[in-house]
Structure 1
Amino acid sequence: MKNPEKLSRRDFVGTAASIAASISIVPSHVIAGLGKVPPSDQITLANIGCGTQGLREMGELLQNPKVRIVSVCDVNKYSEDYIDWSPYGIRDNIRSVLGDDNWWHNTKGIPGGRDVGKAYIDRFYQKNSPSGGKNSCTSYEDFRELFAKENDIDAVKIMTPDHTHASIALAAMDRGIHVVTHKPISNRLLEGRKVIEKAKSSGVITHLLAWSDRPEYRQIKAWIDEGLIGELKEIHNWSYRPVWQQWTKRPSGSETIPEGFNWDLWLGPVPEMEYHKNYTHNVFRGWYDFGGGSVADMGHYSLFPLFETLGISNSPISAKAYGTTTREEVNGVYQWVKNDVAFPASCMIKWKFPQQASLSPFDLFWYDGGMKPFAPLELEMEGKDTPDEGLMLVGTKGKILGGFRGENPVLLPETKMTSRPSSERIDSSKIDRSSTTWVHAIQSGTQTPGSFTRAQTITDTVNLGAVTLRSGKKVDFDPSALNITNDNEANKFLTRDYRKGWQI
């Protein structure tokens, strides 16, 4: 064992099981019987990223007695210039969790940053902990300093922009810390592969938050297995996203870096560039450097659990995409703008998938920005159109239609459902989507269904979509050799040029 003076709580918990029989203490189940979770049974968590989504999801963690947030990290200290789809949604959620209707009463915009995260956490524990929350949450600007100084962290939740997910996850796993991250695992295919390999070799518990248990998909699989749509040939998935600003070229001019905002750390692995507000906060998603586009933002939610349910574990072997183009006026003449820096306002992507364990080769189609497939004959005959968002599976003998994540799935034409058992009619609005899967997994030492180790196909898929968009042509991909075989120039989009000290 380590020197007792240097033994951290995490080290102690890891070795305590082997010596517990020789120590006479009050059992944790006795404390639990009093309605409390003993501190030794709580997962100590560092929350990295205190922007809108980081704060939005923080309340659920605070109210989970099995979790204790002990540290926060964000490159932004505090500002009131965040962007969200609701002006008061996050504020009202925090007020509800804290039981304080005055929270943020004097702010001029949507606040965010590590000071907000720390204040939120400290206030909650002061009101709800038996000790009065005497142990204040620590706060850091740099995740590397957090990992160097905090020795008692069991898990980290990564809520930063996409381009830094891989760096933070790898640093955590190097230290034996469990990792929970928002999608994507990375916004570069080769980075994603390295993170996944590290997850396999390190043995830590990992979880991609886009995973969810979807009984709708199990029903869809049952219909496919029964042969009701014949051989699966196509999967179509479409979203009205993006909801954030899309760009057509780099911003012009320079802006002053806001006080308390570490632009150098925000850039992370991305090569040097001038600060501009149009890169940061929620609008980062539209840039090739920093985001993954709509397919990374939303496609993870619909496709990751679908891949898992249908047994789609072999990555796509090609991809082709079309995106909207832009023109601008220059000296009275409208010219086409070559956009090589940001995702288009809308696009269509087609991937070819090889043979799977129980599926023949098929094509996957993605649509966003208002694009969607035309209504099939089965819908036209009923005077219906495809919904604004949806999922459709096309086989040689029939089709299945559902909401974006397969909600309320039906066989087409829907008249087929009249002869099916009523149990096959799923009302998705009545399904409890709350999940503490990763919390239970960490406590039990088992991987989650949303583990990084199961996410290679979805990670390859969304990042290959970005590659074909950027290359402007069809790309053939060798998942084993990890290269584009028909266009050597496109291979540069599988990775990035790294700043010194940030290489992966």
Structure 2
Amino acid sequence: MIVRTGGNRREFLRIGAAGAAAAALGEAPKTARGAAFQAKNDRPRLALIGAGGQGSGDARSASRFGDFVAVCDVDRLHAEKARDSDRIGKKKAEVYEDYRKVLDRNDVDAVVIGTPDHWHTKIVIEAMKAGKDAYCEKPLTLTINEGKQIIETVENTKRILQVGTQQRSDHNKVFLMAVALVRDGRIGKIKKVTAAIGGAPSGGPFAKETAPSELNWDLWLGQAPKVGYIRERCHANFRWWYEYSGGKLTDWGAHHVDVSHWGLGKDQTGPTTIEVVRADLPVSYKDGWPTVDDQYNTATTFLVKATFADGTPLEIRDDTPNGVTFEGERGKIFVTRDRIDLEGGAVASIYKNPLPEALLEDLRHGKGLDDHFQNFFACCNDRGKPASDVWSHHRAMTTCHLANIAIRLGGRKLTWDPVKEQIVGDDQANSFLSRPQRAGYEIVV
């Protein structure tokens, strides 16, 4: 559906998701070998590591292109459910608790990783070192240094790694359209970008319990500190604890900050300053660490301003409608998952002047408008760069991680060197570029 309003002083156009491609993208470039692995005798053998809700959802999507021979989860019930799924294990896949046994299998070509965030880096690195291509859910990292470790491993092993930031391949094409319009200069020089990602819950104190028999709690914790089992630390609620995730800043931030970087052309750099305008933490902190262990501890509300070397500010905030807003000298673009709203300069030429195919192809690394898993398997086939590559994702996540570091340190302003990838003149803040790792679970490149 398309709705137009406006007058001489203001032009406005709202394009529903279904109309985005027809409105501005024109005829999409054809995908190189986009039907990868469609032949039955050419279907890759896959393994699912982390079979909760998101992991199983990813596996169902991947099953169009490959066959799962193994499923793994530290929660036995999750693994068994995935094994018995008609679209994943088909009652044939082997069940594992320890992912290392999966990686030891020579018959696994690629892995789909849907574990909690704090496990992503270690499993991705070990999977690539074991010769597997990998699709891993976002956010790929828990710290900035982990991104550098993954990049080193990708470059050394030459494996394909697709990150689960599917907005780079969204079926509706609204994010690609927004980014292309910004890159093509349709609204002029960008004055400001806003990534609105919503707030996070507070909760607790929670009761400590005995872990259920089907869950290997010690293995679930992995590199994270050894603590007693609390139900709300686990499964879907893990993202509200800094020990395992980064709250909304790395949850939705992984999507909308990524789109912000993409639109600005900042895929290979980062901000130079991070300023906390406001933020609320649900528990007290000392030296950047929560003082209690039985309550959610990630930021509940926030407004963080990241400024790039060219002076462009990116605001990450919780209190405006979910989406990304690009404000230019000649207009404004707001994009979210169900629509794109245009004002000013982008409106006038949207139908008369389709976006250049060369630009669209460049934004998609030489491939067409495939869905995210089709893009991954096409890259496994031709060894091309995926739509959501580790280099750009690392830079977007760096901005998110820096925002969290600044918040945890009481709203301290940070100066970032995006070339050296260091916080300037602040040893305490730099200590948060990595994290302590429990013995036996260390990440090794």
TM-score by length of 2: 0.77
Q: CA RMSD of the aligned region, Å? A: 3.0
1:438 to 370, 376, 382: 376
Is 2:244 the counterpart of 1:279?
no
1:257 deviation in Å?
Answer: 1.0
**Partner in structure 1 of residue 122 of structure 2:** 167
1:307 deviation in Å?
Answer: 2.7
Supply the distance in 2 between the matched residues of 1:494 and 1:454 (Cα, whole angstroms): 18
Supply the distance in 1 between the matched residues of 2:281 and 2:222 (Cα, whole angstroms): 30
**Partner in structure 2 of residue 47 of structure 1:** 48
> Equivalent residue of 1:408, what SS?
strand
**Partner in structure 1 of residue 103 of structure 2:** 147
**Partner in structure 2 of residue 95 of structure 1:** none
**Partner in structure 2 of residue 100 of structure 1:** none
**Partner in structure 1 of residue 385 of structure 2:** 447
Once the two structures are superposed, residues 370-392 of structure 1 have per-residue CA deviations (whole angstroms, 9 ceiling, x without a partner) of x12xxxxxxxxxxxxxxx22322
* Partners of 1:217 and 1:306 within 8 A in 2: no
Mapping for residues 59-458 of structure 1, pairs under 5 Å: 59-62=60-63, 64=64, 66-78=65-77, 113-121=78-86, 125=90, 136-148=92-104, 150-211=105-166, 212-213=168-169, 215-217=173-175, 219-220=177-178, 223-224=181-182, 229-242=187-200, 245-247=201-203, 251=205, 254-312=208-266, 313-321=268-276, 322-325=278-281, 342-354=297-309, 360-368=310-318, 371-372=319-320, 388-395=321-328, 397-404=329-336, 407-412=339-344, 419-422=348-351, 435-458=373-396
Q: 1:469 to 1:418 in 2, by over 3 A?
A: closer
Supply the distance in 2 between the matched residues of 1:200 and 1:36 (Cα, whole angstroms): 28
Supply the distance in 1 between the matched residues of 2:97 and 2:45 (Cα, whole angstroms): 19
> Equivalent residue of 2:127, what SS?
helix
Supply the distance in 1 between the matched residues of 2:347 and 2:326 (Cα, whole angstroms): 20
Letter in 1 for 2:257: L
* Partners of 2:273 and 2:413 within 8 A in 1: yes
Supply the distance in 2 between the matched residues of 1:434 and 1:191 (Cα, whole angstroms): 23
1:153 deviation in Å?
Answer: 0.9
1:492 to 417, 426, 431: 431
Letter in 2 for 1:343: T
1:58 deviation in Å?
Answer: 2.8
Q: 1:439 to 1:237 in 2, by over 3 A?
A: same
Q: 1:471 to 1:206 in 2, by over 3 A?
A: same
Q: 1:503 to 1:421 in 2, by over 3 A?
A: closer
Once the two structures are superposed, residues 152-189 of structure 1 have per-residue CA deviations (whole angstroms, 9 ceiling, x without a partner) of 11111110000000010011111111111010111111
* Partners of 1:315 and 1:457 within 8 A in 2: yes
Supply the distance in 2 between the matched residues of 1:417 and 1:446 (Cα, whole angstroms): 32
Is 2:2 the counterpart of 1:37?
no
**Partner in structure 2 of residue 469 of structure 1:** 407
* Partners of 1:70 and 1:137 within 8 A in 2: yes
Supply the distance in 1 between the matched residues of 2:346 and 2:159 (Cα, whole angstroms): 44
1:224 deviation in Å?
Answer: 4.3
* Partners of 2:121 and 2:150 within 8 A in 1: yes
> Equivalent residue of 1:153, what SS?
coil
Deviates more, 1:484-493 or 1:436-445: 484-493
Supply the distance in 1 between the matched residues of 2:146 and 2:88 (Cα, whole angstroms): 37
Q: 1:393 to 1:453 in 2, by over 3 A?
A: closer
> Equivalent residue of 1:460, what SS?
helix
* Partners of 2:162 and 2:390 within 8 A in 1: yes
Q: Which runs of 5+ in 2 are unaligned?
A: 1-34, 285-289, 356-368
Structure 1 stretches of 4+ moved >6 Å: 337-341
**Partner in structure 2 of residue 25 of structure 1:** none
* Partners of 2:82 and 2:89 within 8 A in 1: no
Supply the distance in 1 between the matched residues of 2:199 and 2:376 (Cα, whole angstroms): 28
* Partners of 1:161 and 1:284 within 8 A in 2: yes
Is 2:421 the counterpart of 1:482?
yes
Q: 1:367 to 1:48 in 2, by over 3 A?
A: same
Q: 1:143 to 1:226 in 2, by over 3 A?
A: closer
Supply the distance in 2 between the matched residues of 1:68 and 1:400 (Cα, whole angstroms): 44
Which one has a bigger Cα radius of gyration? 1
Letter in 2 for 1:44: R
Supply the distance in 2 between the matched residues of 1:479 and 1:419 (Cα, whole angstroms): 37
* Partners of 1:319 and 1:468 within 8 A in 2: yes
Supply the distance in 1 between the matched residues of 2:337 and 2:260 (Cα, whole angstroms): 8
* Partners of 1:390 and 1:406 within 8 A in 2: no
User: Among the aligned pairs, what percent are the same residue?
Assistant: 25
* Partners of 2:282 and 2:300 within 8 A in 1: no
Higher normalized contact order (CA 8 Å, seq sep 6+, divided by chain length): 2
* Partners of 2:69 and 2:89 within 8 A in 1: no
> Equivalent residue of 2:85, what SS?
helix
Letter in 2 for 1:437: N
1:76 deviation in Å?
Answer: 0.4
Supply the distance in 1 between the matched residues of 2:421 and 2:130 (Cα, whole angstroms): 27
Letter in 2 for 1:318: T
